[in-house]
Structure 1
Amino acid sequence: MDIDAKKIELLDWLLHINDESKLKKIMALKIVLDKEIVAHTISGYPVDKEEYINMVKEADERITSGNYTTLEDLEKEIENW
């Protein structure tokens, strides 16, 4: 089945959905699929461009406010493990 046939099949299926909860789930999936993934967290969670920019801004704010751990502090902490 080529892509055009798959699209038609999907459109037909969508047109016949009468369950509001299914439509909400499909819309949520659409939102996720429309976002461009630019990175992943350490745990593998996909991060879109907007989320990534927010993460960088938050990290920058923490650094600016002095809320970070230096390598030296981390090495001292590791010694106590």
Structure 2
Amino acid sequence: MDLTTRKIKFKERFDTITDTNLVARFEEFLEIHLSNKKIVAYTVQGEPLTKEMYVEKIKKAEKSVKNGYFTTVEDLEKEVENW
């Protein structure tokens, strides 16, 4: 199958999408790949991260820890005992 045919088939399938979150993920994917930004990591959900996005996530996580939003190993071990 040539590239033009693949694009047409993709567009037809894309037009059937009703999930706005999925469309947003496609938009983000295209933005990253078409802007030639280098992907340095992926989230556990498989979303690509540029260096800027990765650093922002780290800063956000550090802020959460600083504000006390974390689980200690001890608390996690207690939780596991109840599984």
Q: TM-score, normalised by structure 1?
A: 0.58
Question: How many residues matched?
Answer: 54
Q: Shift in Å at residue 44 of structure 1? A: 2.0
* Structure 2: stretches of 5+ with no match in the other structure: 1-25
Specify which of 65, 68, 72 is matched with residue 67 of structure 2.
Answer: 65
Q: TM-score, normalised by structure 2?
A: 0.57
Q: Which residue of 1 aligns with 2:40?
A: 38
Q: What code does the residue aligned with 2:32 have?
A: V
Tell me the percent identity.
46
Backbone CA RMSD of aligned residues = 1.9
Q: Which residue of 2 aligns with 1:5?
A: none
Distance in 2 of aligned mates of 1:41 and 1:78: 24
Structure of larger gyration radius: 1
